[in-house]
């Protein structure tokens, strides 16, 4: 992380169309240590507990037409606001819908429709998770998987690398085999050590139906993203097969063990930098990466590698480091699968607005780069998902960067676009409990994004 919060507030916007108070920052060396120490300080339970889900009164905080935070809107922005006022009433979106549009250059709210209402955000939660991970761990952080040896046993030690591949295991096995042969050993036992994380648990708002298709039980060791109940033993078995293929006899089944200081390191693999992992996670909305990053972020801040430890750090980073408004903000996981999560659209817009500020680019640049682009094949906004492909939104193909979110009864779209004036417009739209077909809801939301861009005028 690059900066530490100073005590002097500067004016900025709060949910509901007013300006918020974003805390001033100071930069300098030793910043990451400072924030980690700050996060490690005891915090009262009242401060850590997310407030209950909250719904603002309908229409509360809507920005007056023609003005935004005290300034007169230009003709394009007035047209955008007028269009949003009518299009947000689209029956496909239902009645539980919120939205916010910010103008980054002027630090003002252009439009606010129930922006302080806390709704289920689905995978838009990943925006908060990624911001915290990049800030606490740093974009150049890597995750290490090791192989150690003692008393005839090779132990594969997980280090929270959710991107470990079979090819990576093959390289680890190759180094391990070379060491074994140099020592005159031709047989070995294999164990796995995934003690970096505790036993997998379910987040509040999860159900057992999520395992293992939507998300695998969160462990510190996995290979090729396998969606299995025990990813650690699965990785150990893949490692054992690599050893066997290299001519080493594996004695017995793969077991669990904890490596000790007496174990001799024989091989090590480092992941790609966190910036690349976040890029992938955001681009395809990978739930497993998100949950692993939540735990590694907790550990990086001196907290337990649990849902609770991770979400506590997310709150602290957003509040203390960036001054993001967290009124009515409540999360229980890193991926957004939890049906108990509640985030206002205004808060998501504030997180995204950070990406438009050059001072945050060294830390958060990969989050901006990873946002799916409207119409981008291979991303969650690609044509294979039916995004930005109708008559109203097609004009915005290639012009919008946004994070999607989809759960039963919850669809969200939060992102950025360059408007006609060339400046960044930041938006967040969330709906809950619409009875329309999800594809129809997404078409309506894509239309809102095209409205913000100005191409659907």
Residue (of 299, 454, 336, 444) closest to 386 by Cα position: 444
Identify the band that residue 116 occupies on the pLDDT scale cut at 50, 70 and 90: very high
Angle at 61 between CA 55 and CA 62, to 5 degrees: 115
pLDDT at 340: 98
Q: What pLDDT sits at residue 28? A: 32
Q: Report the pLDDT value the prediction gives residue 49, as an integer from 0 to 100.
A: 35
What confidence tens digit (pLDDT) does each residue in 339-359 have? 999 999 999 999 999 999 999
Q: pLDDT-derived band of residue 309, with 50, 70 and 90 as boundaries?
A: very high
Predicted local distance difference test score (pLDDT) of residue 50: 35
pLDDT at 68: 57
Residue 45, pLDDT score: 33
Task: Check pLDDT > 50 for residue 385.
Answer: yes
Look at residue 249 and give its three-state secondary structure: strand
| pLDDT tens, residue by residue, 54-89 | 333 333 444 433 455 556 889 999 999 999 999 999
Q: Tell me, what's the pLDDT at 70?
A: 57
What is the structure's pLDDT at 162? 98
| 157 closest CA partner among 125, 119, 192 | 192
Query: Within a 13 Å sphere around the CA of 249, how many CA atoms are in the beta-carbon half?
Result: 6
Residue 419, pLDDT score: 83
pLDDT in tens, 222-278: 999 999 999 999 999 999 999 999 999 999 999 999 999 999 999 999 999 999 999
For the whole model, what pTM was predicted? 0.86
Contacts of 296 (CB under 8 A, 6+ apart): 133, 137, 143, 160, 305
Residue 198 in this model has a pLDDT that exceeds 60: yes
Domains of the chain: 3-139+277-453 (3.40.710.10), 144-271 (3.50.80.20)
Integer Cα distance of 14 and 37 in angstroms: 28
- Whole-number average pLDDT of the chain: 87
- pLDDT for 427 equals 98
Express as a percent the part of the chain with pLDDT over 70.
Answer: 84
For residue 151, what are the CA distances in angstroms to 217, 258, 410? 31, 14, 53
Mean per-residue pLDDT, 395-410: 98
Q: Return the pLDDT at 19.
A: 39
pLDDT of residue 386: 96
Taking 70 as the threshold, does the pLDDT of residue 29 lie above it? no
* Strand-pair category, 3-11 with 21-27: antiparallel
Query: CB of 146 within 8 A of CB of 267?
Result: yes
Cα 260 from chain centre: 33
């Amino acid at each position: 992380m690059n900066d530490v919060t100073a005590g002097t507030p500067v004016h900025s916007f709060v949910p509901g169309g007013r300006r918020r108070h974003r805390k001033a920052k100071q930069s300098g060396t030793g910043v990451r240590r400072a924030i980690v120490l700050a996060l490690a300080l005891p915090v009262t339970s009242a401060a850590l507990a997310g407030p209950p889900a909250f719904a603002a009164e309908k229409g509360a905080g809507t920005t007056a037409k023609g003005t935004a935070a005290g300034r007169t809107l230009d003709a394009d922005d007035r047209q955008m606001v007028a269009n949003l006022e009518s299009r947000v009433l689209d029956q496909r979106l239902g009645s539980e819908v919120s939205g916010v549009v910010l103008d980054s250059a002027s630090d003002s709210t252009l439009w606010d429709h129930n922006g302080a209402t806390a709704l289920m955000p689905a995978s838009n939660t990943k925006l908060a998770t990624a911001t915290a991970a990049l800030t606490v761990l740093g974009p150049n952080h890597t995750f290490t998987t090791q192989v150690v040896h003692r008393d005839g046993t090779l132990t594969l030690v997980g280090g929270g690398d959710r991107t470990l591949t079979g090819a990576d295991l093959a390289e680890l096995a190759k180094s391990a085999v070379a060491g074994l042969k140099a020592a005159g050993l031709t047989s070995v036992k294999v164990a796995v050590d995934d003690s970096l994380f505790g036993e997998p648990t379910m987040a509040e708002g999860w159900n057992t139906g999520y395992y293992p298709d939507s998300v695998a039980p969160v462990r510190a060791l996995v290979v090729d993203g396998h969606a299995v109940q025990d990813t650690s033993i699965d990785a150990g078995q893949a490692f054992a097969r690599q050893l066997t293929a290299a001519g080493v006899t594996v004695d017995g089944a793969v077991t669990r063990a904890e490596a000790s200081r007496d174990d001799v390191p024989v091989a090590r693999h480092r992941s790609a930098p966190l910036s690349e992992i976040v890029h992938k996670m955001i681009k395809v909305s990978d739930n497993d990466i998100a949950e692993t990053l939540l735990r590694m972020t907790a550990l990086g801040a001196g907290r337990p590698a649990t849902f609770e430890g991770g979400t506590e750090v997310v709150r602290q980073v957003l509040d203390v480091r960036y001054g993001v408004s967290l009124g009515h903000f409540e999360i229980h996981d890193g991926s957004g699968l939890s049906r108990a999560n509640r985030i206002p659209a205004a808060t998501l817009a504030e997180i995204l607005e950070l990406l438009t500020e050059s001072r945050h680019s060294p830390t958060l640049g990969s989050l901006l780069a990873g946002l799916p682009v409207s119409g981008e094949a291979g991303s969650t906004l690609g044509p294979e998902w039916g995004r930005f492909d109708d008559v109203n939104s097609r004009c915005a193909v290639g012009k919008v960067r946004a994070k999607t979110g989809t759960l039963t009864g919850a669809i969200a779209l939060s992102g950025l676009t360059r408007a006609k004036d060339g400046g960044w417009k930041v938006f967040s739209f969330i709906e809950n409990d619409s009875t329309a077909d999800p594809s129809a809801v997404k078409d309506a939301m894509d239309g809102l994004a095209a409205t913000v861009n100005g191409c659907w005028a």
